[in-house]
Amino acid sequence: MKRILAASLAGCLSAFYAGGQNPVVQTNYTPDPAPMVYKGRVYMYTGDDIPGFDFYYMTKWRVYSSEDMVNWTDHGVPIALESFSWARDRAWAAQCLERNGKFYWYICAQTVDNNMAIGVAVADSPAGPFKDAIGKPLVTTGSWSNIDPTAYVDDDGQAYMYWGNGSLYYVKLNKDMISYSGDIVEVPQTMETFGGIRRPRNNNNNNRNQPTPQAQPNKDMYVEGPWFYKRNGIYYQMFAGMEKGKETLSYSTGKTAVGPWNYQGRIMVDQPTNSFTNHGGIIDFKGRSYLFYHTGLLKGGGSYGRSSAIEEFKYNADGTIPQISMTKEGVQPVGTLNPYNRVEAETIAWSEKCTTSEMAKTGVYISGIRSGGYIKVQAVDFGNAAPKSFSASVAAGLDGGILEVRVDSIGGSRLAAVKIPRTGGWQNWKTVTETVVTPVTGVHDVYLVFKGENITAGRELFNFDYWMFKK
């Protein structure tokens, strides 16, 4: 009966959220979002849930980026468990940050000797490729608590890394960002510091059958998923707390990077996320503040198939964070997209009936395209002069159907209809061009609609690499 009710709830919630902007990625499951601002873009580092299991089965991490907060470009999988010779399972929550032109991605994974450990990968670009920086774990103590790392470089140059499940720990990272000095410090937890005290449980290496953590009645507590940052002289420690047997997002603040911490309350609580867990990140971007979190609301999702979502919020005058409710609408664009530059097809505000793939020559591209699907791109600025043509780079081993370009809605004004030919193979790319038949100027949402005219229903139509308009 519980499974029937849960399935019914998931179906209702998925229907309620259809057509909104949350979750922000629909082509993959993307738990544990960790945002990073770099050179006018937001990079979102996520996990990769593989649904259909009764546990958190994850083998790789993903990267997305946006310069307007609504259109997210898929950069694929720049690291996976295979990137770490010492890892064997559980590619769980991670966070990336930049220092001196290098990008350090702190991950956690189960080791070959069945412990949980924290590692670090490094790259010259925020989208990778990344490689294991040290060839061994950065933190390994034989404890289940070595998960969910979060890192921050303070104004004086000192970097810190926090982490922990049940208990919260930190170290001072060295300037190389791949080692640390001093001891691992456990942060004291009281009702004053984190809202409650966790009831003891057996802390061994196999957490799968551990009982659900419980706080004291009507009290919060630190569970996992810390997010550490500083804003206007205040240090923040957001974390997954607990209420009524389900994770919340809560936070504490401090006057120094190592506390003492003062519990401030819950940020997101009692929301219909369709997921037992929640894991958040907070950034400021283009003068606005954003909360990243995850839900189980994408079709086929749930507690083991979670997806990233975003809400905008405003800090209170004293720096405290208000309670934030989840929405299907998500956030508004803070910029526009130029359609006269090459636009990667995997730059998406919303999509249906398609997914993404990678290949060495092309990189990430749209695959799994089915008739009736579409890609929506928000806030496309055509300027004052209407475009004259539309081009798309596609590949198809069979007749590929039709790619319709419409504005403002799936059934909106049709700008072009591109008949997709056989190109000689599913990875043999060809650029096809059609005349724009309906003049359009100004800012519009663009819909790239997939139609399988005279093609067997359900068959894959074509692969899609990029598109652009010309004046």
Structural contact between residues 170 and 185, judged by C-beta atoms closer than 8 angstroms = yes
What pLDDT does 200 receive?
Answer: 54
Give residue-wise pLDDT tens across range 431-443.
999 999 999 999 9
In 3D, which of 383, 381, 389, 393 has the Cα closest to residue 471? 389
What pLDDT does 347 receive?
Answer: 98
Structural contact between residues 382 and 453, judged by C-beta atoms closer than 8 angstroms = no
Domain ranges in the chain are 2-313, 343-470
Structural contact between residues 37 and 287, judged by C-beta atoms closer than 8 angstroms = no
Q: Which residue has the tokens 């998500």?
A: 330
Name the 3-class secondary structure at 7.
helix
What pLDDT does 341 receive?
Answer: 98
Give residue-wise pLDDT tens across range 260-287.
999 999 999 999 999 999 999 999 999 9
What pLDDT does 18 receive?
Answer: 38
Give residue-wise pLDDT tens across range 191-244.
999 998 876 554 444 454 444 455 555 589 999 999 999 999 999 999 999 988
What pLDDT does 266 receive?
Answer: 97
Half-sphere exposure of 241 (CA within 13 A, CB side): 30
Which CATH number describes the domain made up of 343-470? Answer: 2.60.120.260
Structural contact between residues 81 and 130, judged by C-beta atoms closer than 8 angstroms = no
Give residue-wise pLDDT tens across range 63-97.
999 999 999 999 999 999 999 999 999 999 999 99
Domain 2-313 class in CATH: mainly beta
Structural contact between residues 452 and 399, judged by C-beta atoms closer than 8 angstroms = no
What pLDDT does 216 receive?
Answer: 56
Instruction: Look up residue 205 and give its two tokens.
Output: 């290496």
- Beta-strand ranges (E) seen in 382-438 are 389-396, 402-407, 414-419, 425-435
Stretch among 3-7, 314-318, 321-325, 352-356 having the lowest mean pLDDT:
3-7
pTM for the predicted model, two decimal places: 0.93
Cα separation, 156 vs 230, whole angstroms: 12
Q: Does pLDDT of 430 surpass 70?
A: yes
Q: Read off the pLDDT of each residue in 121-140 and give the average, rounded to a whole number.
A: 98
Cα separation, 115 vs 46, whole angstroms: 22
Under 8 Å CB-to-CB from 420, ≥6 apart: which residues?
394, 396, 399, 400, 401, 402, 403, 432, 461, 462
Q: What's the chain's average pLDDT?
A: 92
What pLDDT does 346 receive?
Answer: 98
**DSSP secondary structure string for all residues of 32-59:** S-EEEEETTEEEEEE--B--SSSS--B-
